[in-house]
Structure 1
Amino acid sequence: MEDVRSRYKRIFDNGSDTDRMVFFSDAVFAIAMTLLVIDLAVPEDRHGTAGEVLLNLWPNFLAYVLSFTIIAINWLGHYRRFRVIKTHDSRLMLLNLTLLFFVALLPFPTSLLSSYSGEAPAVVLYAFVVGLLSALQWAMWEYSYRKGFVDPSVDDGLFRWVRLNQLVVPVVFWTSIPIAIFWDGGIAMWSWFALFPLNIIVGSLSRRY
């Protein structure tokens, strides 16, 4: 006979859909994106011209645009994958909550980066969190497919293609961490632009494969 713990896990841990996970995740993504704008505040002392204020705020605006784009890309990937992830268990829920923890945290390293642009601790923290977002999305996709939660229309080739493309961001951002620590934080930030050509290259190669 099935014991109580086994029945609890079977009834309460496993779900036949992912609707509530998706709705909750959407809310966290939206709140995190909204919190990013807090750093774009006009100084209250009103010294200098409007042009000087805008010039002084450009690092904040750049950090805002960067982080908004990163959260938007992560939300879009999350939305697309959960169109084919049909069921879940407690481990997938835990992975999703861990992802949302770092999504909600991103406004802090963004603020630190805008205030201390180019300084190694700020660059390292930011690069670590951004890379971790994509790594967690990779882990959720890998786990969901291995457990059979993904719609049968996703075959092995499509699964591998999505998985491979998710590794580009962690590689670029985590590679910048030793550059910031042992060389220069500003150069490490410039290295993030390698994301664009690398995405094109990996996408092209993976489609051929």
Structure 2
Amino acid sequence: MGVDRTSDETPPGGPTLRRETSRLLSFSDGVFAIIITLLVLDLQPPRVERGQLRHALVEQWPAYLAYVTSYVFVAVSWLNHRSAFNRVTSSGKGLQWYNLAVLFSTALLPFATSVLSQALREGDQADQRAGVVLYGLVGGLLSVTWLGLYHYLARHHDLLDEAVSGGFFPTERARAAAGVLGYALAILVGYLVNSLFALAIFLVLPIFYSLTSSGLYELRRLRHPHG
């Protein structure tokens, strides 16, 4: 009769921590999937008289724009999440709480998207400014939670794969700080100038993060492919 020596040969905490990290990733992936599905619920078929459907569909363009912007936002958050946790080999309560904070702020996006698209459809400038401020605050909060997560990982290199450079997460922290500033700028522009300009900033920021979802070095490689 064979003897299972797995528990004797395994360093204490090793596989348990790896399992915890895998469970954290699985849970996070599920939350991202739910959030990205909720976004489409704001796209409702218009109730119109016969022969008016095409015009009504065109008039819903703010809802389409808000959906695309938020979809890209959530998709890029998921890419950044995978990029960060692909470099993590161990977990702990601190990391789990920072991860939950990121998921919390991301889960607010469907609500902010719905409010903003409704305000843009109705055309009232005061409501549009309020919608822009709400969306910008959610985006800024999401950037702050990413900043916290990256700061935690930058200070806890023992949780990372040995191949991860010591400067990787400090650089990622700078990317997150840029998001805080970007959403603050969008709020000011949308409130003081024009809501559509704020929407442009809201769309540009996720594009920037998608190009650098594997780190700022990825953007440099795109600019200098043979460098």
Is the pair's TM-score, using the shorter chain for normalization, greater than 0.5?
A: yes
CA radius of gyration, larger in: 2
Does the 8 Å contact 1:74/1:133 carry over to 2? Answer: no
Paired AA for residue 89 in structure 2: K
Offset, 1:183: 4.1
Letter in 1 for 2:147: W
Aligned residue in 1 for 2:65:
62
In the TM superposition, what is the alpha-carbon distance from 1:158 to its structure 2 partner?
2.7
Q: What residue number does 1:110 align with?
A: 113
Q: Is 2:134 the counterpart of 1:122?
A: no
Secondary structure of the residue aligned to 1:87 is: coil
Note the residue ranges of structure 2 that are not aligned, 5 or more in a row: 1-11, 222-227
Mapped to 1, the partners of 2:17 and 2:168 lie a distance apart of 23
CA distance in 2, matches of 1:193, 1:65: 8
| Residues 59 and 114 in structure 1, CA contact (< 8 A), matched pair in contact too | yes
TM-score, structure 2 as length reference: 0.74
What is the distance in 2 between the residues matched to 1:196 and 1:92? 24
Pairing 1:10-21 to 2, within 5 Å after superposition: 16-17=17-18, 18-21=21-24
Q: Note the aligned Cα RMSD (angstroms).
A: 2.9
TM-score normalized by structure 1? 0.79
AA of the residue aligned to 2:57: L
Q: State the 4+ residue runs in structure 1 displaced beyond 2 angstroms.
A: 43-50, 156-170, 178-200
For structure 1, the residue ranges without an aligned partner over 5 or more in a row are 1-10
Query: How big is each residue's C-alpha offset from its partner over 1:138-193, in whole Å with a ceiling of 9 and x where there is no partner?
Result: 21122023122111211123333333233332221122223334444333333445
Work out the CA distance in 2 between the residues paired with 1:174 and 1:100: 21
| Contact 1:161–1:207 (8 Å) recurs in 2 | no
- The one-letter amino acid of 2:170's match is R
Q: How does 1:4-153 map to 2 (within 5 A)?
A: 16-17=17-18, 18-117=21-120, 119-147=128-156, 148-153=158-163
After alignment, is 117-126 or 177-186 more displaced?
A: 177-186
- 107-116 or 16-25: which moved more? 16-25
Cα separation, 2, equivalents of 1:158 and 1:95: 18
Mapped contact 1:123–1:180 kept (Cα < 8 A): yes
Counterpart AA for 1:189: L
Change (3 A) 1:198 1:32: closer
Alignment identity in percent? Answer: 34
**Structure 1 CA distance, aligned partners of 2:80 and 2:208?**
18
Query: Aligned pairs, how many?
Result: 194
In 2: Cα distance, 1:71 partner to 1:101 partner: 12
